[in-house]
Amino acid sequence: MNWKRAKSLLLICFLLLDLMLVQIYMGLRAESRGHAAGTGVDPEIINQLAENNITLATDLPRDTPELTLLRVGVMRQNPYPLALTFFGTLEGVSSVRLEDPLLSASFSRQGEELLVYTSGVTVYTCHGLEQTGGNQSNAEAQKRAQQFLANHGGLGELELWRSTPYRRQGTYLVEFNQTWQGRPLVGASGAVVVVTPAGVESCWRRYLTVLGESGVPKSVVPAEEALLTLALERPRPEAAPLVIKEVILGYYNKIYNADEWEAVPVWRIWTGGDAYFYINAFTGELEAL
C-alpha cells in the first residue's frame, strides 16, 4: 500500500470537507440575515406589503391575548399650580384666558410659554434654545427628560419608550408611554420632550387616567392580519415608501370631545418619525388617522 499517496488523499478529502462546511456556514448566515426581520410571516402578506410600497423591517408579536375595552378619562389639571411647577413663581407671568373653548389657560414669561387644554394636553415651549450650540449623549437627554417630567407634574405612570436624534446634533426627541398592565395607551397620550444641550426646548404631555375594563374579553386579531389591512387600505401607496419599524399592541386614545371613553385595543404600526397607523385589534379595520 502506498501510504504517502493515501495520506495525500486524506488531506485533500479533509480540505474539501472544510470548504463545504464553510460554504454551508456562509449560506446559513446569509439566510439568517435575509430573514432577520419578519421571520415566519406569510409570504403572501410580504408580497401584499411590497405591492403597496411597504417593507417589513421588524419581527411581529405572536401573542393574540383576550382583551376588553378599557375605560379611560381625562385627568384634569388645575392650570395655576401646574404653571407654578414650570415658572417657579407666577410673578411676572402673563396669564390669558383665550376665547378658544379647547384651551383652559395660557401662561408666558420671557420666551417661555405653557398652554393647558381641556383635552388633558399641556404644551410647554422655551423659545431661543434652537440657536444654542453644544452636545449631549442620548443617555444624558433621556435623564434630563425624565427629570423634567418629574419636576413638572410628576412622572406618574409614564415609562421611557425611546429617544432619537432630532433636527440637529446633540438634540433628541425623547418619548414616553403611559401604560396599563404592561400595555401602552397609544394615540394622543404619553409625553414627548425635545431636549437640546442647553435644556428642554418643548414638552407635549397628555394626562389620562384608567378607570377600569369594560365588556367581555375577546381575542385580538393576529399582527399579520393588521399588516394585511395596512397593505390593502393604505391611502395613496404610491406617494412614498413605508418601512414598518415597530408593531405594538395597545389601547387607542385619540382626542375625543368627552371626559371619558372606551379605548379599543389596537395594533400600533410605526413607520418612523411621527408616522403611525392604528389597526383595530377586534375588527382588523384601519382606524381613522
Does 97 share its domain with 47? no
Sequence-distant (6+) residues with CB within 8 A of 210 are 70, 71, 72, 180, 185
Give the dihedral of Cα atoms 41, 43, 44, 46; nearest 10 deg: 70
The pLDDT of residue 63 is 93
Same-domain status, 142 and 129: yes
Do 77 and 193 fall into the same domain?
yes
**Same domain membership, residue 84 and residue 28:** no
Residues 81 and 190 in one domain: yes
- Pairwise CA distance, residues 4 & 200, whole Å: 78
Identify whether residues 62 and 75 lie together within a single domain: no
Count up the domains in the chain and report the number. 3
Same domain, 89 and 119: yes
Residue 76: give its domain's CATH number. 3.30.310.160
Domain shared by 197 and 80, yes or no: yes
If asked whether residues 1 and 80 sit together in one domain, one would say no
Question: Are residues 172 and 240 located together in one domain of the fold?
Answer: no
Q: What is the pLDDT of residue 98?
A: 67
Q: Which one of 195, 211, 227 terminates a domain?
A: 211
Last residue of a domain, one of 165, 192, 211: 211
Contacts of 13-18 spanning 24+ positions with Cβ under 8 A? none
Structural domain including 27 reads 1-34
Domain-embedded: residue 230: yes
- pLDDT at position 129 is 78
Q: Could you give the angle at which helices 223-233 and 43-51 cross, rounded to 10 degrees? A: 30
Indicate whether 117 belongs to any domain. yes
Q: Quick one: pLDDT at residue 257?
A: 86
Please tell me whether residues 270 and 247 are part of one structural domain: yes
- Helical (H) or strand (E) element with 260: strand 260-263
**For residues 279 and 285, is the Cβ–Cβ distance under 8 A?**
yes
The per-residue pLDDT string of the chain (289 residues; one tens digit each, 9 = 90 and over) reads: 444 444 443 344 444 334 343 343 334 333 333 334 556 788 999 999 999 999 999 999 999 999 999 999 998 888 999 999 999 999 999 987 667 888 889 999 999 999 999 999 999 999 887 666 678 999 999 999 999 999 998 998 899 999 999 888 899 999 999 999 999 999 999 999 999 999 999 999 998 999 999 999 999 999 999 999 999 888 777 778 999 999 999 999 999 889 999 999 999 999 988 889 999 999 999 997 6
Q: Which three cell numbers stand for residue 267?
A: 395594533
| Domain's final residue, options 188, 211, 234 | 211
Q: List Cβ neighbours of 183 (8 Å cut-off, separation of 6 or more).
A: 249, 250, 251, 265
pLDDT value at residue 184: 95
- What 3-state DSSP class applies to 289? coil
The 3-state DSSP class for residue 209 equals strand
Residue type at 30?
A: A
Within a domain: 288: no
Q: What is the DSSP string of 20-69?
A: HHHHHHHHHHHHHHHTSSSTT--HHHHHHHHHTTEEE-SPPP----EEEE
C-alpha cell at 216: 367581555
Is 289 inside a domain boundary?
no
74 and 174 inside one domain:
yes
pLDDT at residue 37 in the model: 55
Give me 123's grid cell.
Answer: 404644551
Answer whether residue 267 is part of any domain: yes
